[in-house]
Structure 1
């Protein structure tokens, strides 16, 4: 396991994150290597968390997709402070990210949407994420019909679907040890530079 306790004077947590993510993606048996938990500040005062899939690492942003009407979108619009949490079982590593979230440009959103598989694209055209559902069977019928009739078509990105980007202000990298003497390294952005320190387990 790589030691990140000895870092250059001007460390870059994106280098560490990208390396760890690449190792995880290479060795994981999961079909969703980008799976992580997005936490936001709820409109009702309660914290809110849900799993989603990280789609791009584009310094200085971590990027995922979703709809503008979703609860996460409303919460980000109300309070852009957000967190992403990654747990990688094979390497026994955890990464916690805190930062500021925003929507991406239309061009970026188009690019992300094109990368989705056809079923996911079609779901985005028929589902109003988070809205009340009267009948799951009716929605399933709509999806099956769309899948049968439009599978070979090019699906345009719905106007309500977009990319979201989180610009991190903190990264915490934790390497789990069987002894429970875990290694924790915290990067914090101050005056536009990254400051790094070790944290006790």
Structure 2
């Protein structure tokens, strides 16, 4: 079995990424790649790996959904009392990874994490489907429970309490923004000789350099 796994490989050949072709600002470069990914109709194009760590450096990772980006950073929303929320409270540093296999591209982001304002979180919460709003109340995320019935009972409880309109945002739920200090754009190339262009924050500017594959 292990030999079969070791034989799995793909040679990348779709595109290249050269220094003269990238934007001066990594957010502009991200926006260009993002638009290409959206136009490629990639399923769950906004799915990204979020890696956090304890103060001692023990890492954990999971997939979350990007819900917005600006020149300041990348936004996502979650339960503040979840495993990732507790780690971010103690160690507000994180890494993000986008992998768009259809374009043979990967983007790695490292940065500092801050909570979004209550106003921002409230505004986004109102756009969520009612079932997702109820779910934010019903799930004690990352906490061990006796069975699926706990969640189902909580859903019924909060449906009865709130109805289907103007459901309030839970106080333990909201957004984060990852403010990058480093962003790497990876374009797959033949024979594992990939293109990797890295942006590193230096005060108000960004240093651009190629790093070896």
Superposition TM-score, scaled by structure 1 size: 0.89
Shift of 1:45: 4.0
Counterpart contact for 1:84–1:98, Cα < 8 Å:
yes
Which position in structure 2 is the counterpart of 1:5?
A: 19
Which position in structure 1 is the counterpart of 2:123?
A: 111
Shift in alpha-carbon separation, 1:158–1:49, aligned structure 2, 3 A? same
Counterpart contact for 1:77–1:102, Cα < 8 Å:
no
Counterpart contact for 1:28–1:90, Cα < 8 Å:
no
Deviates most, 144-153 or 81-90: 144-153
Higher radius of gyration, 1 or 2: 2
**SS of corresponding position for 1:197:** strand
Shift in alpha-carbon separation, 1:2–1:151, aligned structure 2, 3 A? farther
Is the counterpart of residue 92 in structure 1 residue 104 in structure 2?
A: yes
Counterpart contact for 1:119–1:147, Cα < 8 Å:
no
Unaligned runs of 5+ in 2: 1-14
Partner residue of 2:52 out of 2, 17, 40: 40
**SS of corresponding position for 1:188:** strand
Which position in structure 1 is the counterpart of 2:182?
A: 170
Shift of 1:57: 0.5
Shift of 1:43: 5.3
Counterpart contact for 1:83–1:98, Cα < 8 Å:
yes
In structure 1, distance between residues paired with 2:72 and 2:203: 15
Shift of 1:137: 2.0
Alignment of 1:68-79 (within 5 A): 68-79=80-91
Superposition TM-score, scaled by structure 2 size: 0.85
In structure 1, distance between residues paired with 2:158 and 2:18: 49
Partner residue of 1:101 out of 113, 116, 121: 113
Which position in structure 2 is the counterpart of 1:23?
A: 36
C-alpha offsets along residues 166-192 of structure 1, whole Å, 9 cap, x if unaligned?
A: 100000000012332211000000122
Count, aligned residues: 199
C-alpha offsets along residues 8-37 of structure 1, whole Å, 9 cap, x if unaligned?
A: 8x810000111111211221341x221001
**SS of corresponding position for 2:49:** strand
Of structures 1 and 2, the one scoring higher in RCO (CA 8 A, sep 6+) is 2
In structure 1, distance between residues paired with 2:157 and 2:172: 21
